Structure 1
């Protein structure tokens, strides 16, 4: 018979049972409480949670990417997020392995929450490391950002991360989660996402990253502000080495490889990506305007406007990144030498009004005041800050700290100084500026665009915005009109004697009597020789024969939209025209008389690859194939025996150590057919060179911001010294790069050519003179009829 329990034992049993009961109540209650917390979180009680639609299309700001014709990124448009997503297949294996080994070892085996890691974190109170999986970290990045500092806030935040993480795991594959995590992270220094990070820190695409480079970038996930390779290279190297250790510990790399890589340096190749850095900055400035116009006229399907800075558009352009680099290098090689010589000629000792010539102090004062009122500083103070004119003018006379542009050892640089804004304006006016554009005449595709030498300090684009007097580069249009209308041959001869067009003949109020620059007259010249030597009197005779209106109409058909008044003086290039217009016009000669409007953008896509815009070529027949060919052969004479002949020579390529000597020889030695024309304005303010080969037309202009800024003499102030060297240096680089296939062949002659173009042939040319001509000149004694 069982022994009855004592009262004490009964009491103890009841007490133990009570504890057990409370344990289960607490345990089950805790579980229910946790379930309730999860339910409340999923019901948006602790803040809005993303639904299925949002999870499928998480909202992230994506930069607009500009792609070159050879598939390189030229730059991006963005406000704060320089982010361009990549797919998982574009990530190298060692980059993914580094992330998993360091951030989430069991990533492939859990469904968003790492139970083992969570329990470890709970029992060790977080001292053993966090338990956030990659999915949780992605959830935090995508939908919550920084968490609360309060305990309750941290708990609810973590619950929301767990819920979103599990939803992400159901919504996406493991590979898609990895790719999203790499794309969302901010690596600092405008490096948003792995693609920007690879480009900014190593100048590479993600799939080109080496193992140690991948380890460095993964190491930055811990804290990109602390582990910033520019500010904290030692800390970043140590963190990289931790990543390499984790990769070894997880069996991704050997211990030998780990030890080897840990002893290497970071080997950064810092390449900042901003609107004022990188290549093709002036082209990107033009493209910004192009896109704003396009966005204005092309809304989204829902009627809202596209965002150039946040919608992740992709703009495919015609610019070739290789040719763009060669063009910028040519400018950078020539301009500091030219500028150094200009400074030598315009020291205050030699020129008290430096950098201006032929202006007195009162004229200079007026010019500077006009420039002040046109400046960005004036606009900002007047319209943004609402300052009075008096306050603004006074501010221009107060010294302030600033960084100004300078050529240093032949490279663009900056000088930190204290200067009055008015003095800085005069300082900048002393710099000569370039404009250059290169285009395939057959397609109209613009291959290179250099609107200046430093976009940060000189933002006015001298390719399309700036228009300057084009001088003798306009003469081929006059010759072309004569060939087209009167069937002239390059071998036809004209008297090289003074010539005048009487007053009122073409609406000009006064008699017009142009002079040759050399003031040397006598004998006859073929048209080929006259153009090669830029003889003004013969050009004047031609425009008198065809009429200024014919030439102005031809210019318009060739894509020149600038005003061309139908007066005789246009024959010598008096109109102001842009480099962009001139290259488009010359391209028609190389393209057998067909004008093709320059193309810069081939297509635009949205972030999903849907084509939003595709260009349609704009072409028109302007002159016959024969006329175009004959005009081109005329321009070949410029590089054979005229002002462009230095392209064919080789001299001593020596420069002074201080970069003051620009040209003592011309080390170009081109042997292939080149058609072209130099141009120099009357006071040496503007130097031009237009050069063509069968599949590439390039125009170069060099000059000051104001026409009062120029060389004193034609030695340095001519197009052959100011602009032609840039063309030559650029073409040398293009020819050296055989992948570009720049032509060295002859210009193709039409099958039914009826005009004599080879002046060495026995048929020769005819001497052309009319009774009207005789009334305006003294006939040379040896002139034969």
Structure 2
């Protein structure tokens, strides 16, 4: 042979060339193998594979609410992979998967020929599941012209090592847990939950084929964006399953006839269920995790460590609460805009628009660049393409930044918090109308004047101070310090000779009587009572506090109402029950925080519930019965603030306490009139709609069918008095009116003797 080569020089050069090429190949391969192009993972590292895992936020029943992640990935076990999913993958991506050792030589030769000799990057594959797994885990780097070859060899080395370490079942598990799907989703469990709202173990044949089909091109075959294209790709996967004997021809044809049906659930930070709640969870976690360390002594990372955050949120109730709030606010927004018409402040008051404009990042950026106010206004008046929120649709319009600000000023916003009063466990949390466009959370961040929802604290303080519930007060107006004269809603002067007991006055939310009860009890006594029940904010020590001039958050007001349905004890709202690591070990656990001693006597608590039931049955909240047809056992209190800026409603049932607020984010923009802005019209319907929806679901029977304990005969006797009492002849003849008397004169009157008390027209009988 050697003599033959010597006699023919061309054979000699051909031999030298082949040996040289082979030597270069060996050296090139060795350089890759030994890490000259980048260090490859050792067998030891591969044995301890650990990928970034999304942290899950779970409802009280374990159902997934949302995730925190860089890449949306949630690993599962091999046993959770249905056989038709595995068959679909093998038939489509690697038909000889169970026969080769990580590298399919036949396919690899095809790829080498097309990729290297023909420079065809689209030749695909030749890639086995093991090779794809190597790529999924370690990605690819740019090595210039030789990049594709280097990456292929690196993947081949890693794939062979994986096959030596792991069984075929383990490789399938690792693959499904790391492979990228559409919409920035990593891993089959995340994809199954996102596109079909099911765990991987629950997806059927057609759904499995859809997901496997997206692996060829996750964007092009995204079933959310391109449903028809995705369906056709699904059918290709089904045909491949038939080709390799996993399905009969009849089964393939039957599956192809079925429609592509998604149950898409976005667990992104801005979308999906309970986005305001999840944002609050994320804030709290950053503080909680600062106090915890993992087994390596390092802090946990919510985006990488696969923690499980178990919460108290009721998944169904949260869904219904979001529906109820949005349904009502859509209709209320229309009322609001029609009532204002062309005189709306967001259209006519340029000062409001300008001040809102100054708060935008665009204004602040231009200001830091040294632009004058006129220059900034000129720039922000230029039209451009801007996406605008509306209830019916989100549309892109050609308008200026200034016009965009005016557009968002018109929107009413809302908040709702529902808790189990006995524990404080949060059941539903809705912080606004749409988290994508309104990030401000009206449950945890906002403080607004609470209006008449403060009155129950006034009446509770009065009862605790010894006032008889059958005490009567006239509704006539009285002037207090600085000439302040509260009046009742409607503006008509009350008959000065008609007196109302506490129950009737509270149910009708009479302002004049609430202030008189406050003054009779003492402002400090009312403040002390409110503080004892759970209000932490500073309360103004003025007569107007009786009408709710104090600004409180939804969470604070909710907390202060819990004693009414928790044996007089205050329950602090809480929503994280425990935090677990990725192995299920409990890192932190949280229990209800309930005050040790009651802040109300049991007798007075029951009296207050009876009085607030009257608010629903015959007072300011009667539309719960008349308009919404609710027959549930409900107590409650409406609230409306000055100039119709805020509407409130507190709904109380034996096992659920819900507080709702509605108003504009800009305090200077209120409702046009009381008819629209009163709490009974603006805030109450959110609670009403939620209760209607819950009444239709038997899983809520423990809430919807619960009844308040009947009052005892002793309490019944205490409340046994006419709601309204008219002054007798002598009182009408000699009593006169207290209207316009200053507060100090009213106090002097209390010190006068028998004849003055007999003929002087004192409010209290």
For the criterion TM > 0.5, the same-fold answer is: yes
* CA shift for structure 1 position 65: 2.2
Secondary structure of residue in 1 paired with 2:390: strand
Q: Structure 1 residues 599 and 123, CA, compared in 2 at 3 Å: closer, same or farther?
A: same
- Distance in 2 (alpha carbons) for counterparts of 1:784 and 1:389: 60
1:364-375 mapped onto 2 (5 Å cutoff)? 364-375=349-360
Distance 1:146 1:271, change over 3 A: farther
Indicate which of 487, 494, 498 corresponds to 1:520.
494
> CA separation of 1:595/1:501 partners in 2, compared to 1, >3 Å: closer, same or farther?
farther
SS of 2:391 mapped into structure 1? strand
Partner of 2:644: 684
CA RMSD of aligned residues (A): 3.8
Structure 2 distance, partners of 1:57, 1:391, is: 60
Partners of 1:13 and 1:784 in 2: CA distance: 128
- Whether the 8 Å contact between 1:523 and 1:783 is mirrored in structure 2 is no
The aligned runs of 1:6-45 (5 Å cut-off) are 40-45=31-36
- Deviation of the 1:329 alpha carbon: 1.0
Q: Is the 8 A contact 1:493 1:524 kept in 2?
A: no
5 Å-filtered alignment, 1:282-431, equals 282-298=276-292, 300=294, 302=296, 304-348=298-342, 351=343, 353-355=344-346, 364-382=349-367, 391-408=375-392, 413-431=393-411
CA distance in 2, matches of 1:82, 1:291: 19
Deviations along 1:171-229, whole A, 9 cap, x unmatched?
Answer: 33433322221222222322232233223333333233221121121122222233333
Q: What do the CA deviations read for 1:66-99 (whole angstroms, capped 9, x no partner)?
A: 21223222222234x2222233233222111111
Distance 1:554 1:569 in 2: 16
- 2:441 is the counterpart of 1:465: no
Who is 1:635 aligned against? 612
Q: Identify the match of residue 162 of structure 2 among 159, 168, 174.
A: 168
Distance 1:343 1:607 in 2: 50
Q: 1:389 to 1:687 in 2, by over 3 A?
A: same
What SS class does the counterpart of residue 406 from structure 1 fall into?
Answer: coil
Q: CA deviation at 1:758?
A: 6.8
The normalised TM-score by structure 1 is 0.84
Task: Return the offset for 1:129.
Answer: 7.1
Distance across 1 between alignment mates of 2:269 and 2:763: 63
Match of 2:222 among 206, 214, 228: 228
Quote the Cα distance in structure 2 between the aligned partners of 1:536 and 1:286. Answer: 36
Q: Distance in 1 between the 2:480 and 2:5 partners?
A: 132
Aligned partners of 2:474 and 2:763 also within 8 Å: no
**C-alpha contact 1:523 1:782 (8 A) present in aligned 2:** no
Q: Distance in 1 between matches of 2:527 and 2:43?
A: 64
CA distance in 2, matches of 1:380, 1:276: 24
Contact 2:103/2:128, CA 8 A, preserved across alignment: yes
1:496 corresponds to 2:481: no
8 Å Cα contact 2:476-2:494 kept in structure 1: no
Q: Of 665, 674, 698, which residue of structure 2 is paired with 1:738? A: 698
User: Whole-Å Cα distance in 2 between the matches of residues 465 and 560 of structure 1?
Assistant: 16
Q: Does 1:624 align with 2:601?
A: yes
Q: CA deviation at 1:448?
A: 1.0
Q: Which residue in 2 is equivalent to 1:206?
A: 200
**1:144 positional shift:** 3.2
Segments of 5+ residues of structure 1 without an aligned counterpart are 1-8, 504-509, 650-665
Q: 1:625 to 1:164 in 2, by over 3 A?
A: farther
Is 1:606 the counterpart of 2:581? The answer is: yes
- Using structure 2 for the length normalisation, give the TM-score: 0.86
| SS in structure 2 of the partner of residue 742 of structure 1 | helix
Structure 2 match to 1:659: none
Task: Supply the distance in 1 between the matched residues of 2:758 and 2:641 (Cα, whole angstroms).
Answer: 28
Q: How does 1:663-742 map to 2 (within 5 A)?
A: 666=627, 668-740=628-700, 741-742=702-703
Sort the Cα spacing of 1:379 and 1:607 in 2 relative to 1 into closer, same or farther, 3 A: farther
Offset, 1:148 = 5.2
- Give the CA deviation at 1:584: 1.6
> Match for residue 656 of structure 1?
none
Aligned counterparts of 1:390 and 1:440: Cα–Cα separation in 2: 53
Distance in 2 of aligned mates of 1:688 and 1:567: 22
Q: Distance in 2 between matches of 1:615 and 1:184?
A: 33
Alpha-carbon distance in 1 for matches of 2:111, 2:563: 73
The answer to which of 543-552 and 34-43 deviates more is: 34-43
Are the counterparts in 2 of residues 480 and 631 from structure 1 also a CA contact under 8 Å? yes
* Alignment correspondent of 2:89: 99
2:557 counterpart of 1:557: no
- Does residue 1:185 correspond to 2:184, yes or no? no
CA distance 1:45–1:671, shift in 2 (3 Å): same
Per the alignment, in what secondary structure is the counterpart of residue 435 of structure 2? coil
Distance, in Å, in 2 between the alignment partners of 1:213 and 1:10 is 63
Distance 2:218 2:308 in 1: 27
1:134 Cα offset (Å): 1.0
Cα deviation for residue 720 of structure 1 reads 0.7
TM-aligned CA deviation for residue 581 of structure 1: 1.4
The correspondence for 1:85, drawn from 72, 75, 83, is 75
Return the alpha-carbon distance in structure 2 between the equivalents of residues 192 and 204 of structure 1: 15
CA distance in 2 between partners of 1:566 and 1:10 (Å): 111
**How far apart in 1 are the matches of 2:507 and 2:80?**
55
Note the 1:55-94 alignment, pairs <5 A: 55-58=46-49, 60-79=51-70, 81-94=71-84
Contact 2:101–2:160 (CA<8 Å) still a contact in 1?
yes
2:672 and 2:265 map into 1 onto residues whose CA distance is 41
Change (3 A) 1:779 1:479: farther
Aligned pair 1:281/2:261, yes or no? no
- What secondary structure sits across from 2:170 in the alignment? helix
Q: Alpha-carbon deviation of 1:301? A: 5.5
More helix by share: 2
| Equivalent residue, structure 2, for 1:54 | 45
* Residue of structure 2 in register with 1:657 after alignment: none
SS of the equivalent of 1:691 reads strand
- What secondary structure, in the 3-state scheme, does the structure 1 residue paired with 2:703 have? coil
1:438 aligns to 2:426 (yes or no): no
Q: Is the 8 A contact 2:638 2:648 kept in 1?
A: yes
Question: SS of the counterpart of 2:341?
Answer: coil
Cα deviation code 1:513-538 (max 9, x no counterpart): 43233431432222111100112232
CA contact (8 A) 1:489 1:756 kept: no
SS of corresponding position for 1:107: coil
CA distance in 2, matches of 1:161, 1:567: 76
Deviation by residue 1:565-601 (Cα, 9 ceiling, x = unmatched): 2222211111111222111211221111111110121
What pairs with 1:514-553 in structure 2 (closer than 5 Å)? Answer: 514-518=486-490, 519-521=493-495, 522-553=497-528
Q: For residue 279 of structure 1, report the CA deviation from its aligned partner.
A: 1.9
Give 1:761 deviation, angstroms.
7.7
Q: 1:515 to 1:121 in 2, by over 3 A?
A: closer
Distance in 2 (CA, whole Å) between partners of 1:181 and 1:434 is 45
* Unaligned ranges ≥5, structure 2: 728-745
Which residue number corresponds to residue 732 of structure 2?
none
Q: Distance in 1 between matches of 2:576 and 2:206?
A: 37
Q: Is the 8 A contact 1:38 1:163 kept in 2?
A: no
Change in Cα spacing, 1:766 to 1:40, as seen in structure 2 (3 Å) is farther
Task: Give the alignment partner of residue 565 of structure 2, picking from 569, 583, 590.
Answer: 590
Aligned equivalent of 1:644, options 603, 621, 629: 621
Shift of 1:624: 3.1
Aligned length: 731
Query: Structure 2: how far apart are the matches of 1:10 and 1:675?
Result: 105
